[in-house]
A and B are shown apart, each in its own frame.
Chain A
Amino acid sequence: MAEENKKFEPKNKEELKTAVQETRPGPVFIPQVDIFEDVNQVTLLADMPGVNNENISVDLEDDQLTIRGTVKEPENKDEIVISREYNWENYFRKFTIGNIIDREKITAAISDGVLRLVLPKAEETKPIKISVNVG
């Protein structure tokens, strides 16, 4: 039951600090991710509120996986800010994938601001069970 009563720990949005220059000025946020793998695939979940399937791009080049999401300004022009506790900006994150991925079978879906990226492992990299004969 301890898990059920867990309170949400507030976390500040982390800004990307890198030499990579964005064409648009302003901060770029690092989405928080879960990455896990099983025998068949590597799955990546990324929190990217404000991003939908029209403004996300996922690239895999060699072993470099890049996730980029652009966020539209949510506020109307005539709105006046009373208090602001968070900023919205584009998301960017890059990973090195250790496994050999079957590129043809990569699937990506985004819903409610969470990206789910499934990277199936290539057949030749899957573990093969070798039976040892007793001789």
Chain B
Amino acid sequence: MNIIRWREKPWFEFDPFSEITKLKSDMDRLFGVVRSVTSHEPMFPKVFPALNLTHDEHNFYIRTELPGIKAESLDINTNGVSISIKGERIIQEEGENVSYHRSEREGGYFKRVLSLPAKIEPDKIEAKYKDGILTIVLPKATEAKPKKITVKAQ
């Protein structure tokens, strides 16, 4: 925290509450981060595409919405530690004699790399594309699967 000297600013610009305001915004930011980690409210990422990552006993699941993409244009690679999803969305030309009322759909290249939270079996990964949603199923490696420990009664 800096100490503000009197003479740095003329008296009419001096804000005695600036440090308090800053502290408040810092605290809000801190709690904002904590809240988004603990709740299941979606955090909108600044990269495309947005991914949802879930898991159950056997697999991890990555889902992403990619409407209007050819399945063969998707390039999914993994090294066992992270997975990358690459592709391109092409918005086709609709002829020369059309006039656009609205043009909201976007096209372009995208690439996203995601670190995997545990060991997986890279050879058994399955990817499905249906109704514009890509689902990648990553089977967990045996050592990453939960083990049930039975308690023996004596």
Contact = CB atoms under 8 A, between A and B. Distances in A.
Contact of A112 (B53, B69, B100): B69
Nearest to A115: B67
Nearest to B103: A34
Nearest to A88: B65
Interface stretch (A4-12, A59-67, A100-108, A127-135): A4-12
Interface in B94-134: 94-95, 97-110, 117, 129, 131-133
B84 interface: no
Interface string A39-54: 1000101011111100
B13 interface: no
B109 A6 contact: yes
A87 B104 contact: no
A35 B102 contact: yes
Given A37-B99, A49-B67, A81 B109 contact: no
Contact of B43 (A34, A35, A85): A85
Interface in A67-102: 74-76, 78-88
Interface residues of B, number: 51
B87 to A, nearest CB: 9
B67 A48 contact: yes
B134 to A, nearest CB: 9
A36 B100 contact: yes
Nearest to B129: A112
Contacts of A76: 56
B104 to A, nearest CB: 4
30 contacts: A5-B109, A6-B108, A7-B109, A8-B49, A9-B106, A10-B46, A10-B48, A10-B49, A12-B44, A32-B104, A32-B106, A34-B103, A35-B101, A36-B101, A47-B67, A47-B132, A49-B133, A50-B65, A50-B131, A75-B61, A78-B56, A78-B57, A82-B55, A83-B53, A84-B40, A85-B43, A86-B52, A112-B69, A113-B131, A114-B132
